[in-house]
């Protein structure tokens, strides 16, 4: 305890902890909103079991973690057990943090105790229905799934790969959103040893992208430089960040050192392709007409479903041929998210609209309008099916039922 407190007073240690808190994006979940004090908790986090409110992690001695020793702090972050013995819900990604090195946990402790401003604020209490309100049962969940050891570098990989793997698997906790969940809501994998790791998943009515080397829907066509630039700016020639990834980039990845961004990109590019269920071939203007021509007696030209809506509402920004205006406005032909096996994020974007991230080194973000009241379920299904199967794209159709179900889920 004495040694830990002495280290916490070291300015270099505090500065390192400040940086690692950016890597872990602690502020996004532990801040109730832009007008609320940072790290004071109270953000409602949707889960399949109900709303979970984030906790106050400022050094306030009553409502925060001011009375936590280093051992208490380490146990909460890496084992999901609060100072009073209460089990934390795995909305806190302690299953990933379990592999974090001691030196990094010590630096985080120093930062939160010595630099973060104490805020007296008690967030709303999480009240999940039975049996999920029985927190003691989480000891069995943890025993089954929180079994990661401290990260150990792989001898068959270089230093840059190991740094990237460490950041992605531990404090970056990328798998918390991008890895599919099992029946117990556990991540199906925590490293590249699992074929499910980072292969894409639906979280809070967003589809988090496939980050493996899949050619169409993943990062197979992205270069390491493009991945690194996307994490820094939220924009690339292939996509613009949207949804929950906007806050990740604004609050976390844009602040990372270039060598760390490059290391993450280097690691991600090493992941083999997973879930190759869609395809993309470079666009040839004659290959995807907006009208399909039928031959034979009585045949005539007819417009493909969705083509008219696209021409009237989408082409002004994204172009008649889906080329967009990168990096400000994403191209749709060959866009990895357009080609995702799950169209949830695309449907939500059309329903709600959105805006890309505002970053120091990126372009001024453009805003996409909401079409929730303007388009029917059939309209949205048609236009997205058209986009997902034009300009070299080949992906499963979107159905009106897909749109209807998500529309209802977002209204709850």
List Cα–Cα distances, 371 to 153, 343, 378, in angstroms. 48, 16, 12
Instruction: Give, for 393, the enclosing helix (H) or strand (E).
Output: strand 393-394
Within 10 Å of residue 297's Cβ, how many Cβ atoms?
4
pLDDT at residue 207 is higher than 50: yes
Q: Which residue has the higher pLDDT, 366 or 179?
A: 179
pLDDT at residue 287 is higher than 80: no
Q: Please provide residue 234's backbone torsions phi and psi, each rounded to the nearest 5 degrees.
A: 80, 5
Using pLDDT thresholds of 50, 70 and 90, give the confidence band for residue 381: very high
CA-based nearest residue to 241, from 136, 365, 387, 375 = 365
pLDDT at residue 292 is higher than 50: no
- What confidence score (pLDDT) does residue 301 get? 53
pLDDT at residue 364 is higher than 70: yes
List Cα–Cα distances, 244 to 24, 65, 94, 247, 254, in angstroms. 15, 27, 20, 6, 15
> What is the average pLDDT value for the chain, to the nearest integer?
91
CA-based nearest residue to 239, from 247, 278, 231 = 231
- What confidence score (pLDDT) does residue 275 get? 85
pLDDT at residue 279 is higher than 70: yes
Distance (Å, whole) CA 231 – CA 178? 15
**Cα of 226 vs its chain's centroid, Å:** 17
**What would the mean pLDDT of 153-180 be, rounded to a whole number?**
97
Using pLDDT thresholds of 50, 70 and 90, give the confidence band for residue 390: very high
Strand partners, 240: 235
pLDDT at residue 7 is higher than 70: no
Angle 166-167-168 (CA atoms, 0-180°, nearest 5)? 95
- What confidence score (pLDDT) does residue 118 get? 97
Token pair in block for residue 364: 């001024």
**What would the mean pLDDT of 241-253 be, rounded to a whole number?**
95
Kindly report each contact of residues 145-148 with a partner whose C-beta sits within 8 Å and lies 24 or more positions away, as own/partner: 145/95, 145/184, 145/186, 145/187, 146/79, 146/80, 146/94, 146/95, 146/98, 147/98, 148/95, 148/96, 148/98, 148/99, 148/190
pTM of the model: 0.91
β-strand 279-280 against 393-394: which pairing, if any? Answer: antiparallel
Q: Cβ distance 323 to 317 under 8 Å?
A: no
CA-based nearest residue to 98, from 164, 136, 143 = 143
- The three-state DSSP-derived secondary structure of 315-351 is HHHHCCCCCCECCCECCCCCCCCCCCCCCHHHHHHHH
Within 10 Å of residue 328's Cβ, how many Cβ atoms?
15
Q: Which residue has the higher pLDDT, 277 or 287?
A: 277
Q: Please provide residue 203's backbone torsions phi and psi, each rounded to the nearest 5 degrees.
A: -135, 125
Length of the chain: 412
Using pLDDT thresholds of 50, 70 and 90, give the confidence band for residue 291: very low
Q: Cβ distance 209 to 337 under 8 Å?
A: yes
Distance (Å, whole) CA 175 – CA 190? 7
Residue pLDDT, tens place only, 320-342: 999 999 888 999 999 999 999 99
Distance (Å, whole) CA 73 – CA 116? 15
- What confidence score (pLDDT) does residue 285 get? 60
pLDDT at residue 290 is higher than 70: no
- What confidence score (pLDDT) does residue 288 get? 47
Token pair in block for residue 147: 């079994």
Using pLDDT thresholds of 50, 70 and 90, give the confidence band for residue 238: confident
Within 10 Å of residue 143's Cβ, how many Cβ atoms?
9
Token pair in block for residue 283: 């666009």
**What would the mean pLDDT of 21-39 be, rounded to a whole number?**
95
Q: Which residue has the tokens 């986009």?
A: 387
Using pLDDT thresholds of 50, 70 and 90, give the confidence band for residue 399: very high
Instruction: Show the domains of the chain with their CATH numbers.
Output: 2-116 (1.10.760), 159-268 (no CATH), 280-411 (1.10.760.10)
pLDDT at residue 169 is higher than 60: yes
- What confidence score (pLDDT) does residue 88 get? 95
């Amino acid at each position: 305890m004495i040694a830990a407190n002495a280290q916490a007073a070291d300015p270099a240690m505090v500065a390192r902890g400040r940086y690692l808190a950016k890597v872990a994006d602690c502020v996004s979940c532990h801040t109730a909103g832009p007008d609320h004090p940072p790290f004071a908790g109270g953000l409602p986090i949707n889960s399949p079991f109900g709303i979970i409110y984030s906790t106050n992690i400022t050094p306030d001695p009553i409502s925060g973690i001011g009375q936590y020793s280093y051992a208490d702090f380490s146990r909460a972050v890496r084992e999901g057990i609060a100072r009073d013995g209460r089990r934390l819900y795995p909305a806190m990604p302690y299953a990933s943090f379990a592999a974090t090195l001691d030196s990094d946990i010590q630096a985080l402790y120093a930062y939160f105790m010595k630099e973060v401003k104490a805020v007296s604020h008690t967030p709303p209490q999480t009240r999940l229905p039975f049996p999920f309100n029985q927190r003691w049962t989480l000891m069995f969940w943890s025993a089954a799934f929180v079994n990661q050891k401290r990260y150990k570098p792989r001898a068959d990989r270089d230093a840059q790969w190991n740094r990237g793997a460490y950041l992605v698997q531990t404090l970056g906790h990328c798998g918390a959103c991008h890895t599919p969940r099992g029946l117990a809501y556990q991540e199906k994998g925590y490293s590249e040893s699992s074929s499910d790791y980072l292969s894409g998943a639906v979280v809070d009515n967003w589809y988090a992208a496939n980050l493996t080397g899949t050619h169409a829907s993943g990062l197979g066509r992205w270069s390491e430089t493009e991945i690194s630039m996307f994490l820094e700016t939220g924009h690339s020639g292939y996509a613009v960040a949207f949804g929950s990834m906007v806050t990740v980039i604004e609050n976390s990845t844009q602040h990372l050192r270039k060598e760390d961004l490059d290391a993450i990109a280097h690691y991600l590019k090493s992941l083999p392709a997973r879930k190759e269920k869609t395809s993309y071939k470079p666009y040839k203007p004659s290959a995807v007409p907006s009208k399909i021509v039928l031959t034979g007696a009585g045949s005539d030209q007819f417009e493909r479903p969705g083509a008219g809506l696209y021409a009237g509402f989408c082409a002004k920004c994204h172009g008649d041929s889906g080329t967009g205006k990168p990096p400000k406005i994403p191209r749709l032909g060959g866009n990895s998210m357009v080609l995702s096996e799950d169209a949830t994020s695309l449907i939500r974007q059309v329903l709600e609209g959105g805006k890309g991230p505002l970053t120091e080194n990126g372009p001024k973000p453009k805003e996409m309008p909401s079409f929730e009241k303007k388009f029917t379920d059939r309209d949205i299904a048609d236009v997205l099916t058209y986009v997902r199967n034009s300009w070299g794209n080949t992906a499963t159709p979107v159905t009106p039922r897909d749109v209807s179900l998500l529309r209802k889920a977002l209204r709850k």
